[in-house]
Structure 1
Amino acid sequence: TMVTDVYWQPRDAQILRQRLPLLDWTALLVLHDLDLIDKVISFFGKIAIAKSTMEELAEFTNPFYGSPIRGKCLGLQQILRRHLASILQPSPPDGLSQASKLAQLGRSNTQIVEICAGEPERFRLYSDDYAFRAFCAGESENNGICTLDVLEGLVEVGL
């Protein structure tokens, strides 16, 4: 919302913590680059990363896969491994799959869309891609968050 709203204000830390943040690839890579994953997990207590995102991360670390970001993914995997007890790995609720309609989004983004649609009271999308947050919101109010929201929350609570 901050990208399109000149009156954007970050959400209160308490509001940010009301639902589990469901992180997409963009958010994970930004947090890794800023060395904030540990602090974000401390702030929220638990985070969610779609099961398919974790599977893709494992694929990208495989040397036979030939990923140009293998080194970055290995570092990310190592950090996440320390926090496995604090990471939920949801997949879409049974019977809700729209994978064929959303195939152009890719496997992990498709799962994220389905998880957000299936359990909106439990998960809040955490993405630094505004267009993806707007897409996931559909016709509902865009209540996803980005790293700037979380940075403000970290400052508010002294992390």
Structure 2
Amino acid sequence: AQGVLWDDGKPVPSQWGLATFVRSAYPIIGQAQGFVHRAFSWDGYGDHPRSRNAHVIRLFDFERGWPITIAHMHGLRDLAGKQDTQERLEQATRFARLIANVAPPGERLVVCGDFNVEPGSRTFDILAEIGLHDLVTATGCTDTRTSHYK
């Protein structure tokens, strides 16, 4: 998306998106990209929660002899907080569908990103339906931020 952000009352034209960087040694053998909330916005960001997209790539590791699918997104940022909302649940459903379109069942799969949800979010239940489990809550972590986060 593109639009204007503000810095102390001064308009700053900007663009926002999502990037995936892949080492050339790993060929991309499948991928999908799509919006999990709203659509591309060329004429301004619009009201919160703003559009969000996700990217799913399937790579092949020649050294290990197997494929792996990696999916990521930056989830809805809602000014009201990180609690479950209808938009977040629809986002999770669309994200899971996008992943399932690329990742064969039972194959290695990593899903990551900043989901902007609480640890008990139903987002994780939706992702569990495609075979995932949450490594953060399963290992007893109470926070995903490092000491570098102010």
Q: What TM-score, normalized to structure 1?
A: 0.29
Higher Rg of the two aligned structures: 2
Q: What TM-score, normalized to structure 2?
A: 0.31
The structure carrying a bigger helix percent of its residues is 1
The structure carrying a bigger strand percent of its residues is 2
